[in-house]
Structure 1
Amino acid sequence: MSVRGRVIGAVTVGVVGLAAAGAGVGVTRQRRRIQRRGGDEAPAFGSLRSEPTTVVADDGTPLHVEVDEPESPQSEVTVVFSHGYALEMDCWHFQREHLRGRTRAVFYDQRSHGRSGRSPMGNATIDQLGRDLLSVLDAVAPTGPVVLVGHSMGGMTIAALAELHPELFGDRVVGVALISTTAGGLDPSRILFPMVPSWGSSGAVHRGVSMLARSHRAVDGIRRLGKDVALVATAELAFGDDVPGSYVAFVDRMLSETPFEVVAEFFPGFSALDKFDAVGVLAKVPTVVICGTDDKLTSIGHSRKLTSRIAGARLVEAEGAGHMVILERSDDVNAELDRLLEEAE
């Protein structure tokens, strides 16, 4: 058997084996307990929509963009939201709901995510995401002040834009929020783990992610076999508190609907990320850095380091919250965005 075959076989055995073992130690019971949290009431995740538009990136990739135009604008600022790895624009549900009707807000799906088109091979990089963000700005916010808000990989997107076009900050960009993110020094297996919880930190498969992408359909099938394990892993790794089960299911759905081929294409860029020297330009504008103290994916240390590299930046530590602080502590995040908009004015 080839090396590739042995690796894929090991993954299959690992996933199925963990799923079976998990059932024996109560993973199914844990999943049921998670699903019962919060009762029958659940936010209508994915229901907030605006007329879609397509922005074509500089390499021809179509990006799905939606703009919420305010009924009674309270600010001239446009807020642009950039989401994280294996998520989509709907992850901003509570922020979109909070700003709707009073502030112009732009939401878009990163390339290869959600409703956006697939990236050409080799262009699924953080630097390309920075160029994509510029394409979105040029298309739907070509004039007027802009506040950028990025979560996880979306924050890295903003760092890439700062490196590529530092002249924008203090000019078109008048404020920045970096949420649960970093500019480098990341262990990629931490990010991969919730999507393939049985083997994400395995050294052998860590080295073979790109190889596995060639059999991505088989890997996607294997991921579905371990859906109970994946849901429990999402609850443990994406959140710090016992949030309602509908929150966990929503995040788990976004993760599971991201094809493994896409996961693999972006994966190498995280270990190579090193943009701490670029983020200093954010000192020209009001900047807030937000992170949960129980973030297991981009730990609080990353946010503290980011803050130390951006003179005047404000660090907000959400005690006990996890990586999906935008859902878990939405009221706190929304209050910080309101404060940032006031400062940006």
Structure 2
Amino acid sequence: MTEAQLSTMDGSRGEITVYRWPNPDATHRVLLVHGYGEHLGRYDHVAAALHANGAEIIGPDHLGHGRSAGERVLVHSFDDVLADLRAVADRAGADLPVVLVGHSMGGMIAARYAQLHGAGLTSVVLSGPVLGSWAPIALADGEIPDEPLDVSTLSRDPAVGERYAADPLIWHGPFKRETLRALGRCLDEINAGPRLTPPTLWLHGEDDHLVPIGPSRAGIDRIRGDRFEQIAYPGARHEIFNETNNAAVLADVTTFVTRTLGG
């Protein structure tokens, strides 16, 4: 697989960086959505697994994240993020079936995107998604601690946390109050929104302390459609794509995608 090709485009609130892992023999396109404070450059191995399964992969660094413009991790409204994601998808074209894959906050974004644009999606994969409710949102109305993330909560593989802590493109500071409020509004919209119409796979680590499985399960149960599958991984922490069993997780993803494509 070739390395990601980076380009830029005008987003809702400034220039955003777009990643594309091309595949001249692609049978489908994956729209990949990263989580809070991180960037899509951390997903090369995910893209490699999807690419080997016949995908071209595209996705942006969200505004205020990674290589994209904007104050770090400041999101006034996730409508802006959703509009940017739709613009990236539109620029890629309508020549291939589209699969949506989102992790963590990216899973929340993907769920809302699927509610709004589900007719254009072949299937949806939600990895450790922020759904239902999320405890940090309550910090928006009080004191927001400036404490670094406990990187041991990411994965049982300590190297994952070490790389995370050393990555200059990752935000290592406190939450922004406006972003937490925007997260809360987006969850309210998802909870009140329609059920998901595309086939959907929900994946979660049972030992996820950053986005606990209970609230996420309650959230997905509220919006899941008739074509729904779920897998919980015993002992796995938050970043299941970076867990010690990540090969099995990615195999579960590609098996689901192939099945929903009719392969």
TM-score (norm 2): 0.84
Q: What is the match of residue 160 of structure 2?
A: 247
Partner of 1:249, secondary structure, is helix
RMSD: 2.9
Q: Which has the larger radius of gyration?
A: 1
Matched, 1:234 2:159: no
Counterpart of 2:142 in structure 1 is: 207
Q: Does 1:134 align with 2:49?
A: no
Number of the residue aligned with 1:158: 110
Conserved 8 A contact 1:155-1:182: yes
Aligned counterpart, 2:130: 182
Measured in 1, the distance between the counterparts of 2:72 and 2:45 equals 32
Q: Which amino acid aligns with 1:156?
A: M
Structure 2 residue 228 is matched with structure 1 residue 313: yes
- Aligned counterpart in structure 2 of residue 61 of structure 1, from 14, 29, 32: 14
Other-structure match for 1:27: none
Q: Choose which of 70, 73, 85 in structure 1 pairs with 2:36.
A: 85
**Larger strand share, 1 or 2:** 2
The answer to whether the 8 A contact 1:294-1:322 is kept is: yes
C-alpha displacement of 1:340: 2.3
2:32 and 2:205 map into 1 onto residues whose CA distance is: 19
- Native 8 Å contact 1:133 1:157 kept in 2: no
1:279 Cα deviation (Å)?
5.3
- SS of the residue corresponding to residue 117 of structure 1 reads coil
Q: Aligned in 2, Cα 1:256/1:138: closer, same or farther, shift over 3 Å?
A: closer
CA deviation after TM superposition for structure 1 residue 308, in Å: 2.1
Q: Secondary structure at the match of 1:303?
A: helix
Name the CA shift for 1:303/1:267 in 2 (closer, same or farther; >3 Å). Answer: closer
Q: In structure 2, what residue type is equivalent to 1:84?
A: G
Q: Is the 8 A contact 2:125 2:201 kept in 1?
A: yes
Q: CA deviation at 1:262?
A: 7.0
Alignment pair present for 1:110 and 2:27:
no
Equivalent residue runs for 1:238-317 within 5 Å: 238-239=154-155, 241=156, 243=157, 245-254=158-167, 257-258=170-171, 260=173, 263-272=176-185, 273-274=187-188, 275-278=190-193, 280=195, 282=196, 284-309=197-222, 310-311=224-225, 312-317=227-232
Cα deviation, residue 145, structure 1: 1.7
Q: Distance in 2 between matches of 1:303 and 1:262?
A: 20
Give the secondary-structure state (helix, strand or coil) at the position aligned to 1:53: strand
Q: Which whole-Å deviations, capped at 9, do the CAs of 1:264-293 have from their partners, x for residues lacking one? A: 54232234422123251x2x2211000000
Q: List gaps (5 residues or longer) in structure 1.
A: 1-47, 191-202, 213-218, 224-229
Deviation, 1:319, is: 0.7
Aligned length: 254
SS of 1:116's partner is coil
**Following TM superposition, by how much is the alpha carbon of 1:298 offset from its aligned partner in structure 2, in angstroms?**
1.3
SS of equivalent residue, structure 1 residue 87: coil
Q: Is the 8 A contact 1:83 1:150 kept in 2?
A: yes
Q: Which residue is equivalent to 1:148? A: 100
CA distance in 2: counterparts of 1:325 and 1:263, whole angstroms: 25
Letter in 1 for 2:215: H
Q: Is the 8 A contact 1:87 1:255 kept in 2?
A: no
- 1:186 to 1:150, Cα distance in 2 relative to 1, 3 A: same
- Alpha carbons 2:33, 2:102 under 8 Å: kept: yes
Tell me: CA distance 1:307–1:123, structure 2 relative to 1, closer, same or farther (3 Å).
closer
